[in-house]
Every structure is written in structure tokens, then in C-alpha cells.
Structure 1
């Protein structure tokens, strides 16, 4: 049976969703509850913070890349929990123009699909009763999405809180709590979002303080009562195709962007995962039958990777007889070189001719649908894969053959097609699920 759940969302990014989410996870955990976190949409960083706060692996649920049956299978991770909390992405109704597998990727689609009510986080700085008009508009915008109420954030004073609450009462919007400004629980950011959980030295202190802060200012019992068991029953997870029987997986601060649902799916299909650290100058296990280099931040570790001769030479030897695939940062590390933000060029593994530059930054962001021209580990030519692209690196040279035909969520062709050479393949595209 699926436990009752809520979706923590907001009108826009930057309003305090993650702070409230971590605070709620910490507060409920301190109260003795088992809370299963989820993350709406493609995001690697927030789920790691969820895990630190809840003690449970946070799973991504994506209505554009996943069908309802796949989402239902992932919800099975909550079977033994007391409560589900799913953090939304961007604004509640923000998604792409055209539907994917089960929706547009908007958090509202996830709410409509699961039946989990929404708790709206409102940044009320610079307004008072007018915040109620925003909340009322969100509550009325889609009849299939229930807004259970709001949590007010960045409240300036008791008088400010009273004025905002008066507006909410007039609009018939329930207020679950009001959070004053608290700079000590704000987390550092970098170009892809928050600094990773394992790189945040004060994370335990932040989570503990956020939990106590939220417990003091939010009605936790009222929130728990507002949660709904939903309409989407948990089912056994759909099978995920592993890239091989024994998978050498790069895993460290430079290569950490791989979805938990994929790793769990690989293991459930019988695959053995053999982690290694390029930053520690380790090479892939010679007993593996394929190698997977996830995304991450290789551009921040250029000198270390350039000096990691055992890693680079071992990867080249491995690729002579077995497939190697890289996603985004892993793809960059498989290339000839990375140019960092200061213009310094760092030698990479050279499995592909790709040269990328972080000096000439340009954001590449969006869902991707790829049709493979050639095989990658786990998928043959012609396979259709759904995923996303998010990076700031610019391609300076890409001499190898294209890996796939790639389009965005509108069906428009994307120039970043990935590349292939011998048994080496790579792409800026992050896999989420095989298209149905």
C-alpha cells in the first residue's frame, strides 16, 4: 500500500523548496517517522540532499520521460514508509509544450497522476495580502491538482506574517506555517545548481538546524493530515536494461551524476557494479565487460584528471576490447581535452576526438529524445531513449561519427548528437528511461 504523500512545490525556482523539503525530512525523521523522498523531474543534486536528511534513497519521478507504469513502479520504494514527500522542480506548472510519456514534466502533472496534494512554498518578501492572490490563482489553475495550502517563506516580521495570513484567510487558503529569513541554512550553489551534498562540509549542521527551524515554524501534524495516499498504486518496478553483466562505473566527485533508479534497475536485472575513481587515478576493473562514465564536474578537476595517467591509459586499454560509454562529463573526459574557465587546456583520455571548453560558457538545457545510430552498452541501433541535457560547456571540436539523431521536447533537431569511435561512445544526453 502506498503511504500518504505531498508534493512540495512553488510558483518559481529560488523560493525555498529545497530548504523546506530538507527541513521537513529532518523534522519528521526526528519525530520518529520514516519518510520516503522523491524528486520531480531530471535532477541529480537535490536527491543526494534528500538522502542525507531522510536516510533513504531519493528517486526521480519524471512525467515526460517516464510512463505512468514506470512511475508507479518507482513509487514502490515508499512501501515501508510512513509518509511520502516529493520535491517539485521549477514552478508548479512549468513543463515543456508537448506531452511526453505521461505529461510535460511539470510537477503539477505528477500531482494529478499520483493524487498527492501540493504544498506551495511562497516567497512573500516584498508583498503582503497580494501573496494570497498568487496562492488563489495556483489553487484554481488546474482542477485535477489539489493545493492543500501554503508555507510562507522569508517573512520579515510578526506584523508582516499577520498581514499575509489575513489575505490567505480571505482567499480561503490554508497556511501551514511561516518561515522567517535564516541565512545559516541556505546552501551554496554553483553553475549546475547546489554544490553537491558530499562537498558541503556543514551539511549535517544545516540539516539539523533546518529540521529544528521547520519544526518550530510549521504545523507538522496538519501537514501530515493533509497528505493523501493517492490514486496511483505501487507496482513492481519495470525492468531496466543494464549496460552489461559486470559494469565498471566511474564514481567520485567528478563523476557522480547517475540516477538511483538506473543503478537499482541494473542490480535488479542481475548486473554487478564495480565502482572506480578517476580522481584517485584508478582504472576500470579488468574483469568488467563494459565501462560507464557518468556526468559530473570534470571541468573542475582538469589538472587532476590530466595527471591521472593510470586512469587514462587503463581506460584506453579497456576500450580496445570492450565498450566504454560516457554521459556529459564522462563524455568530456573521454575526449581529447577540456579547456577550463581560465582557458587552460587539460589532456583527457583521447578515446574520442571531442574538445570542450568551459571558458566559452553557454547553457544547454532541456529534455532529449535520441534514436541511436549505433549501439551503446545496453541498447542496440534504433533504440529510442528519453533523457535530458544540462551543461555549460561548448564543443570546440567533434570529429567523430554521430552517435544518434537527437531532438528536443518539441521535436526540433539538436546539434549535440554525441559521437562514436570504435567501441567508445559518448553523448551530452543523460539517460532517464527507454521510450515506450
Structure 2
């Protein structure tokens, strides 16, 4: 029998011991690492068009029944006032104290039928409440290809880049019908009806195409054939994993589930392996120091108090100006070069910086310093070939470093944890310049405005 999260915390004495020294093996992304090379694959979503296969690494939760909307709206900070069939949204969930659980993409497929897609943190949360909250719903879970036996239920392909509309036009034999941001439509592709969500993963124009898994190969072949003249490029796991750095999305903040007595039943329901692992230089014995609110990650625009949802009273009570602000940190190239170069010199090296994505735990939380004082947390980090920059996404305390200011990111752990991904190393301070998030100008000024 799999140990529950609560049992694991009780056995080890604290959630920090569980997360910091997680025995989980490094995750193998269930898509080819590269089809050509990750640098060219990154360039494709900026200069032509990228084809990203999203069929395998995310978890799907299908929620159906008369109680589906009540369940989902009661767990989401988002408004459901204008959410008809053929719409999608970023679904953001918090606990009863207004602290972030996570986010995912929610699609309204049919009347009383929804599909929630994303990392397992928010999927687990919704499934638990569906099963234990007395809602008139049925849920069906389709795990990612790491844990699932057999094929996915759905194929899911992302067309991303300036040539995406032209490729779709060629496929459907006419002008692309106007589909608003996060609206859904249907395209005739290879004799099949393929559903589409209008959005993108790297802050560029894009369509997410999905349908029954049995149709996936036929649709992919049609996409590759139609896209050949436009430079359509298949993107592997390495390139795909960096797309969020351009759009400014933090994929895995620490979910606020590990400490509150009110969530004990949830921790007893949740298997311990679902807890994940924690890495980075931000080091506190109190897990609640890692918790965030939606405002800390710039999700305030999605918080709607037009409905009753878990955590609404707590969010209403937050003092004005108390939240952090999300930024991009552009790491100093000389300091990055020095850290990487330490592997080639005698002595204890810096923590290995893997390219293009350097995150080595599910939850990466590094200390951000200004004039020696901690001012926030740095999360996902990696290299953007389109900007020739190594960056991280961060959340900084109010009233601290403004755009253009110099800060530093403390890279590496002290003491070194026992995670399998962690080798003996020394901490180093990497200078960084504060920049906007999203970092890419197009995403910030055009795409994000949608």
C-alpha cells in the first residue's frame, strides 16, 4: 500500500525533510529530448512555427455531471459568469487561507462536461474535492505517460509561432476563422474534425489542437506536410521545457498543502510520491515561508469575487500593497560562465547548471539578495536562445528592486541535500538584472494584452 503524504510527514518529522531530501529519481520527460537541436527548436517559435507534442507529459481530469460547475467554481479564484461551452481559461486554485495550490488549463467541452489539464498538483486537489465533497459529478483521470499504462486518451499538439495561421489556412483550405484568445473552435484537418484552443505557450501566436488519440498520428502527419514550406519544426522536451521562461509562467510553485491541520484529510488521501521535491538555496525550516498567493505570481487579474470560492475571504482580507511582484531575472553572463567553468577547474565546483533548463527539483526556490538581504524567491531558470540570455522567474518583496536594478541569485544548496539530482557542490552568488515578466516584448505588449 502506498504511504500517504501525512504518514510520510509524520514518519520524517517535517514536510521540509520529505521535500528537501526526496528520494525521487530525476523525471524523464516522456517526449524525445530533441528532434534537431534545442537551440534551433527554440528559434522556431519566434521565426517560423514550432510543433510541440503536449500529449504525454500532462495529466487530464475529465469532470462531468450536474454538479461540475459548482465544484470547479467553488475551487477557482476565476469567474465562471461568462464561461460557456467552447471556452477555456487558466484555472487557479487556493486553499482556505488564500494560499496557492496551483494552476491548470480548464476547457468547457460540452454542457456539464469539462477537461482540466496540467501538472498534478491542482488535478489532485480537484479530484479530492470531487470524490469527498458530495458533488453530483463523475471524474475520470488520465495520468501522464510516465504513470499511465497504454496510450493517452487525447492527442494534444501546439502550433506556435508567426507562421501558425498560414499553416492552418493551408490545412483547412481557406481563411482561418476568427477565434478569440482562450476560445475554442473546430478545424477540418485530414478529413477529421479537430478541436482547437486559441492560445500559446511561449507568448507567440498559437493553436492547441486536440482530439481522440486514435486520430493523432493522422493529424500530426498532416501538420508536418502542410508546415514544411513554412519551416515547421518539431520541438522536443528540452526546448519545450523553456517556453514558459519567455511567457513568464511559473509552472510549479510549492503548493500550500503541507502544514495546515484543516488539510489533514487531504494529506491522508494524497500519496506521498505526489508531494514532489524541493531544491534551491532558499532555506527555511518553515514550509509556509514557501507559500504564495495568486497576487505574488501576477494572477490578480484572474481573481474574481463575483462568486463564493475556497479562500475568497482570506484573499479579500489581504492588505493593499502586501503582495510580491513577478519579474524576470537576467543572470550575469560572466557569473554564469564562471559557475559552469568551475566544473573544469580543480576544487569543489558550483552546482551543475544544465542547459537549456537548470531546474533540478519539482519546486525550485532560490534566494534573491540585494545588498546582502533577502528580497524574494527565484523559481524556474534556464537559457533562452532567442534572447541569448540565461534567466529565471522570480517573485520579489514589495518596495524592493525595481526594473533595471542589480540583485543576485544564490545558486546551489548549503548544506547539500541528499536528492539524487544533487552532487557535492558549493554555493555561488550570481548577479542578475531585474527585467519585466513576460520577458519577451511581443508577449508582454501584444500577446499578453489579449
- TM tier, smaller: under 0.3
TM-score, reference length from structure 1: 0.28
TM-score, reference length from structure 2: 0.27
Larger RCO: 1 or 2 (CA < 8 Å, sep 6+): 2
